[in-house]
Amino acid sequence: MIDRSAQPSSFGWQFQIATGISLALNNISRTRSINIEGPLQDVEITFFDGEILYGQAKAYGDTDVEETNNTGWKEKLSSAITGLFEDFLKHKTASEFKYLINYPYPLGKNKGGKTNFHQNDYGDIQGTELTDKQVKIIYDILKDCKDVDITSLSNEELDSEFNHFLQHLSIRTCRFTNFTSDRKFSQLDSLIRDFLNNNNFDVSVKKLRQYWFSKGFENSSQKFSLTRTEFLFAIALVDDVLSKTELFGRRFHAKKSINYMIVSSTLLLQ
């Protein structure tokens, strides 16, 4: 089994966590656990039914997402698509395989074009929605691949598996730039705010986001991995009174935490 995880830069690691949080929130009723830098892919969201969402997260740290200069896009695309397809061949019960990027031309500007790729929200473009030219770019990557698992397929098998793969593949563009301020988290914070508002939580978006990120940065050798219970329970911990309380540790101030506990319990039972 090939380990497709890598040792990312600080910015790349932040991007992986941001996309992991966004995917967990998008699928909160199904999510069992969130794993960044998992054993197979950059982002792995495990669902209660046993299916797994595999994601390859590739970010440009020195290029604003509004720019069209995507130097190195082909290497990132090839690495991501090859890794996702290889795991698709082994784990076809997984529901989704995602290519997660922070730049507007994930398939290249000249031939891939910007059709269907947006930067305004965490929206997915399904593989079946790609243009013929875009599909060919992805197919040619796999056809020219030297990976043993892929090269062992006959042309007919590759065609068949590729068509199946497209039905499970999606591309997500996420606005996330390498600014030193919290500006780079604006899109993620908006998603977190909507989640909190929809579930009647009155807590700080910034504190919650910082807590989730601290679980990934508190130890450089520790990979970000939270169960759904731990992920949601953090909502209670970001209150000023609760901020220093260990997860599932010391007693909570009942008056301060009762509303959080009621709502979080409801979410946990969904």
pLDDT tens for 38-87 read 778 999 999 999 999 999 999 887 655 444 555 667 888 999 999 999 99
**80 strand-pairing partners:** none
Report the distance separating Cα 148 and Cα 242, nearest Å: 51
Q: What is the pLDDT of residues 72-130, one digit of tens each?
A: 678 889 999 999 999 999 988 778 999 998 877 788 777 776 655 765 555 688 999 89
Three-state SS for the chain is CCCCCCCCCHHHHHHHHHHHHHHHHHCCCCEEEEEECCCCCCEEEEECCCCEEEEEEECCCCCCCCCCCCCCHHHHHHHHHHHHHHHHHHCCCCCEEEEEECCCCCCCCCCCCCCCCCCCCCCEEEHHHCCHHHHHHHHHHHHCCCCHHHHCCCHHHHHHHHHHHHHHEEEEECCCCCCCCHHHHHHHHHHHHHHHHHCCCCCCHHHHHHHHHHHHHCCCCCCCEEEHHHHHHHHHHCCCCCCCCCCCCCCCCHHHHHHHHHHHHHHHCC
pTM attached to this predicted model: 0.82
Lowest model confidence (mean pLDDT) among 110-114, 126-130, 168-172, 251-255? 251-255
Q: What is the pLDDT of residues 178-226, one digit of tens each?
A: 777 788 898 899 999 999 998 888 889 999 999 898 877 654 456 788 8
Q: Which two tokens stand for residue 87?
A: 């795991």
Query: Residue 189 — left, alpha, or beta (φ > 0 → left; ψ -120 to 50 → alpha)?
Result: alpha
